[in-house]
Amino acid sequence: MRNFIKQTFASAIGSLLGLIIFCGLGTGGLFLLLLAVSSSETTPSVKDKSVLVFDLSMNISDSEPSSNEFLQKALSGEDNNQMSLRTVLDTLEQARLDSRIVGIYLDATHPSAAGATGFATLKEVRQALEKFRATGKKVVAYGMEWDQKDYYLSSVADTIMLNPLGEMEVKGLGIQTMFLAGALQKYGVGVQIVREGKFKGAVEPLILTKFSPENREQTQKLLNDVWTDWRTSVGTSRKIDPQQLQAIADNQALLPAEQAKTSHLVDKIGYFDEVIADLKQLTDSKTEDKTFRQISFNNYAEVYHKPVGRERFALNRVAVVYAEGEIVDGQGNNGDVGGDRFAKIFRRLRQDRNVKAIVLRINSPGGSATAAEVMQREVRLTRQTKPVVVSMGDLAASGGYWIATDSNRIFAEPNTITGSIGVFGQLFNLQKLANDHGITWDTVKTGKYADSQTVSRPKSPEELAISQRSVDRIYNLFLNKVAQGRKLPEQKVAEIAQGRVWSGTAAKGIGLVDEIGGLDTAIKYAAQQANLGDNWELQEYPKYGTFGERLFGQVAQETRSTLGINQAQFKSADPMSVEFQKLQQEIAILRKMNDPQGVYARLPFNFQIK
* Residues that are catalytic: 200, 398
Sequence-distant (6+) residues with CB within 8 A of 490 are: 479, 480, 483
Per-position DSSP letters for 66-112, written without gaps between them = PHHHHHHHHHH-TT-SEEEHHHHHHHHHHHHH-TTEEEEEEEE-SPP
Secondary structure of 243-295 in HEC code, one letter for each residue: HHHHHHHHHCEEEEHHHHHHCCCCCEECCHHHHHHHHHHHCCCCCCCCCCCEE
Nearest to residue 160, comparing CAs of 93, 244, 253, 260?
A: 260
Question: Which H or E run contains 402?
Answer: helix 399-402
* CA count, 13 A, side-chain hemisphere, 597: 22
Contact status, residue 90 vs residue 60, Cβ threshold 8 Å: no
Contact status, residue 471 vs residue 599, Cβ threshold 8 Å: yes
Alpha carbon 238 to its chain's center = 28
Question: Which H or E run contains 20?
Answer: helix 2-40
Helix, strand, coil distribution of the chain in percent, nearest 5: 45, 20, 35
Q: Is the peptide bond before 542 cis (omega within 30 degrees of 0)?
A: yes
